[in-house]
Amino acid sequence: GVLAGRLANAAVSIADTPMRVASGAVLGLGPVPSDSEGVPLPSAIRAELDRARFSVSQTYPDYEGVYWGDGNLLDTPASDFQVIEHLRLADKAARQVRPLLIRRVGDRRLNSTPNSMAVNINALMAPLRAMAKSVTFAGQVFPGEIQTPKDGDIVLVWKSKTAVEAYIKLKPHNCPKDITANIALDLSNDATE
């Protein structure tokens, strides 16, 4: 329920992780769970549960509120869909491109000539370009859901005279989920002689 609530927030994009702190603390969850002696569940245990793909709460020292961990999925290790935001991007692209492909069934305007291939690839690229478009609002730039598609991100392959396969690649933006600050102290003497 908490994960669904984090994902159903209209103020964020489908490309955002449910651990997004800027969305605010989780409401109604209460404090961090405690053991029988009242000791709050330590971050190290929650980190291990997260690595085991459980959904867990997240807190930050000296930062008020309880937040949520990543949206872990049960896809195989090293796969593309281990987190929910990647799956949501692929699902959205599939929902946008699918009707465009269906419209081309039995339409000779999609054929194996270079001009037809270029025109149809360009048309199929439109939903990806829309997903990549950033928006500036109140002086802030909100990045698109994916990086701008480039040549080669959609490929049409003719398997026979009547069968075509479409291959589509999307590239999500990088997003920090672990931030470390390193501070160096400079004690050199800058005084001139």
pLDDT at 156: 97
Question: Would you list the domain boundaries of the chain?
Answer: 2-68, 84-168
- pLDDT tens-digit profile of 64-86? 889 998 999 998 888 899 999 99
How far, in Å, CA of 160 to CA of 75, rounded?
32
On the question of pLDDT at 157 being above 90, the answer is yes
**Rounded to an integer, what distance in angstroms lies between the CA atom of residue 79 and that of residue 42?**
29
Pick the closest to residue 97 from 130, 75, 119 (CA basis). 130
Q: What's the whole-number average pLDDT of the chain?
A: 91
How many other C-beta atoms can be found within 10 angstroms of the C-beta atom of residue 36? 5
**The model's pTM:** 0.85
Per-residue confidence at 11, pLDDT binned at 50, 70, 90?
Answer: confident
Region 9-28 average pLDDT? 87
